[in-house]
Structures are given as structure tokens and as C-alpha cells.
Structure 1
Amino acid sequence: MPGLAMIRQIEAVGFRAWPATSVHYDGTWAIRMTAAHPSKRLNSINPLDPADIRDIPVRVERAAQRFRAYGRRPVFRQSPLAPPELDDYLAAEGWGRFDETIVMTADLTAMDFTGTIDQIPLRDIGRFVDASLKVHERDTVLRPGFSELLNGIRPAKGMFVIEEAGRPVSVALCVQDGAMAGLFDIATAQKNRRHGHGRAIVASALKWASKHGAKTAWLQIETANAAGRALYESFGFAEAYRYAYRESPES
């Protein structure tokens, strides 16, 4: 596992790449809230210092109240930056652990993009949102919230779509923040899988980021996604660290 400094860097670029509408700090706990989108990364309490263990019960309740005000169940996102004492407290209070996720990194300078298509990213956010919702088979009710999220990204972003017969079959979002490039929203339509679309769109996104000066690529993938992990490992990605969520037992 990388040192805490590298983890903090990845977490920071991750927050900028996937920006919450509201961020409130309680000490070093970042409480991220986004009423218009259900993403856990946008709606979670993120402890950012293993040494910040003061008044844990009081602060947990205070953060939970913010979630209740939004009509959401309180959720902690527990990375290696979270104090073990906090995790122990949440476990003892019945907060369930779920969705363990692997953060992977790769050296972009070591990748060979020979033969990779120079795909031009979309500039039309609405077109990308529509393509993403179709490929992921998500409800169109998420369209306004996802559009707002994309509009809020301040670093350079590349929105990639592969189409067949006028239909989107694969999507990827790449956010380049200085020397770091993050991959998000990667998916291929169910009936179009195993045709190389995922590999092609990831390669195009990484090539774009590399050409714009990124040196390190990173992404997040749930541990259960074995096929996705195999794809990324073939590009040279390796596990950097893991995080998981803890959700309040309240109904």
C-alpha cells in the first residue's frame, strides 16, 4: 500500500473529479452531500486523518443529522485515512460494512498506445449523459443530477462514447488533474460486451490523458468486478489501497 501522502493525493483529486454539491468539514471529516445524485461518493462522510479521533460518538451523531436533514441514511466512507478507532466504534454501533472498493493506479508513461485510436472527446455534456444512462441502463430521472455533476468538474475532462449503428455501446469519463488522470463511469452495454469496446474506450481515454500531460492513471472498482479488474490489470493497473462504506442501522 502506498504511503498516506499518496493516498491523500488520490483522495483529493478524486473529490475534485467527482465534486459534491455541498462539503462541510468537522475537523478532518469531509461531509459530502449532493441532493440531486445518489452516488455514495457524493453522499458520504470521509475521514481524512487517522489521528483525528476526538469526540467520535458526538461527531458521528452530528454528521448523521446532516444526512437525515437530506432524507438520506448516514454513510461513512472508510479509506486508510479513517481512524481504526472510528471503524471499531461504527461496527460496535451496528453500522454495516458494504461495497468494498479497490483503488488502482498505473504508470501512464510506461503504456504503449501504438494502434490506439485518437478519439476526440465529446464536448456536449447532454449527449454524454444520455449515452451513459442508456449504456448503464439507468433511470432518466438521474439526468439532471448527472449533468450538474459533470458541469461542476473543474479539471480537464474527456467524455468518450463508442457508437454502433447510431447507438451508444460504451462510455468512459477521464478527468485529468495535473499529473493525475482518473477514470470514471466506464461501461459497455450488456449485449455489446466481449467485443473489445471496453478495452478500446479505456485505451483512448488513457491516451488522451497521456497526451495532455498526465503521468499516473487511477480508478476505483468494486472488489466483486473480476472482469473489470482483469481488464485494468492488462493495462498495467495494480491495487493501491481499498475502502468500504459503513451505513447506519437506522431505518
Structure 2
Amino acid sequence: MHIESSTGTLPLVRRLEAVGFRAWPAASAQYDGSWQIRLTGGHPSKRLNSVVPLDPSDTGNLDIRLERARRKFEAYGRPLTIRETPLMPLELREHLETSGWSVFEEVLVMTCNLEKLDLPDTMDHLPGHDIGRFVEAYIKITEADPALRAALAEIISSIKPTVGLFLKEEVENDPQAAVICVQDNDLAGIMSLAVAAAGRRQGHGAEILAAALRWARVRSARTAWLQVVATNAPALALYDRFGFTEAYRHRYWRKGA
């Protein structure tokens, strides 16, 4: 399966890619032509450790540039990963296909119209600004490696647009759900939505998502966007309930994956 996009959707792809970079900033973001090379030594996230080609016409010296990128990734202890969006040149995709690379994950980028979304008028959960508290809760909810604590705090601290950190806790120090909402002018990014395993299918995800979207709309955001792995059926069902629809997809490539 290939990622295809009409010319008319490319401006939307460019805009959502740009706000995505700002909403989840890598520690290092360098350019090789139009390829953005994103690397973060403290966190293994693919979003923070990948090469993102951003111009369909930038097709020169592919082998040389891939080797340059591989060396940068090797210096960070990361496997070279390419993120394919509709902006990636067809020639590069064909080069990867014939050079032993393969896709190992597909992600949907989805949007919804906040102006038409039916949300409660009350704010059951107000956003916090205590990054340390949020990170501790998020690690507990997701059962993530505590060694990622400092890196996650640094990433959140580096976000330049307005950030809302939402937690659902019925009992102190017993978080059930968490989400980050990043408002960038009229766009609101939903990041890192997570629900504790023991609390799933109880409405916690919908509750915390509604709070984040309501907050963003009050702050004049008109469109919400998010990224979700294509195989995550429960998350897709939740987002469908809120009116999110697919804008485009991206895929991650690795050699020998």
C-alpha cells in the first residue's frame, strides 16, 4: 500500500506537519535539503527520532543523504527511521522499496471541526501546569520506564505553543487518564492520550478528551488534530465518536524491519 494524496491536500499536510513538529519538539532538528532530521537522545519515540522528507521534488543524492542520516542516528544510538508522509518523493519511496527497507508502522493523522462538535458546557477537568506531577501520573498510567521521566519532562517543557496538561484522578496519586492538548493558534493538538489498563472501557478516555477539546475551543481553537496508530481499534472508535476523520497517513520505514 502506498500513501497517496491529491495536490489539493498537500497544504493541509504541510500545515499539520509543521504544527506537529512544534507540538512534540525533538531535541535536535536539522535539515538536509528539505529532509528534517529529528533526533532525541533521551527518548526513543519514533516521532522524535526519524527523517521526515518534506518536498516531493527533493530527490537528489538519495544514497549519500541516507548514509549521512544513518551516521547521525548511529551517533545517537538510534536505528535510522524514515517517516513517509504524502510529502515524501515517490523516487525515495521506490528507492527504499528496492533497497531492503520495509514499513513497520502506519499512523493516521485525524482532524475534527471543534466549532460543530457537541461538547458539554462545563469543564469537569481543568488543565494543570505542573509538569513533574503530570509526568509521574503519565508514567504510572502507561507503565512506562521510569528512566524516561526526565526526557518526557524536557519534551513537554520545550513545547512553545500553549499547553494544557489534563489528568483524571478520583483519588490522589491514582490517575486513570491523561492527555496533553497543545493549542497553536486555531489548531489544537491532542497528544499522548492514555488510560490506565484497569480503568479502560469505563469512559475515562472520553471524559478527559472532552475536557481537553472543550478547553481548546474556549481558547478559540477551531480544529483539533491527533495521530493514532492505524491498528489501535479502541482509540479509533473513541475518536470516531468525537467526529475525527482521517486527513492523511504516515508510515515508518526501517531497513530490514
> Which residue is 1:42 aligned to?
48
> Which residue is 2:93 aligned to?
87
> Which residue is 2:115 aligned to?
109
Give the aligned CA root-mean-square deviation in angstroms: 1.2
Within a 5 Å distance, the mapping from 1:44-193 to structure 2 comes to 44-114=50-120, 116-166=122-172, 167-193=174-200
Residue type at the aligned position of 1:79? T
> Which residue is 1:205 aligned to?
212
Matched residues in 1 for 2:160 and 2:47: separation? 17
Q: Tell me if structure 2 keeps the 8 A contact 1:116–1:200.
A: no
Q: Tell me if structure 1 keeps the 8 A contact 2:190–2:225.
A: yes
Matched residues in 2 for 1:98 and 1:114: separation? 39
Matched residues in 1 for 2:221 and 2:158: separation? 21
Cα distance change of structure 1 residues 150 and 157 upon mapping to structure 2, 3 Å threshold: same
Q: Deviations over 1:178-217 (max 9, x none)?
A: 0110001101101101111000000000000001111110
Question: Structure 2 stretches of 5 or more lacking a match?
Answer: none
Q: Tell me if structure 2 keeps the 8 A contact 1:116–1:203.
A: no
> Which residue is 2:203 aligned to?
196
Matched residues in 2 for 1:193 and 1:45: separation? 34
* TM-score normalised over the length of structure 2: 0.95
Residue type at the aligned position of 1:133? I
Could you tell me how far 1:165 is from its partner in structure 2? 2.2
Q: Tell me if structure 2 keeps the 8 A contact 1:118–1:208.
A: no
Is 1:246 the counterpart of 2:244? The answer is no
Q: Tell me if structure 1 keeps the 8 A contact 2:125–2:167.
A: no
Residue type at the aligned position of 1:213? S
Matched positions, count: 250
Could you tell me how far 1:114 is from its partner in structure 2? 2.4
* TM-score normalised over the length of structure 1: 0.97
Is 1:3 the counterpart of 2:13? The answer is no
**Residue 27 of structure 1, aligned match among 18, 22, 33:** 33
> Which residue is 1:234 aligned to?
241
Q: Deviations over 1:40-97 (max 9, x none)?
A: 0100000001111111111111111110111111000001111111111112111121
Residue type at the aligned position of 2:212? A
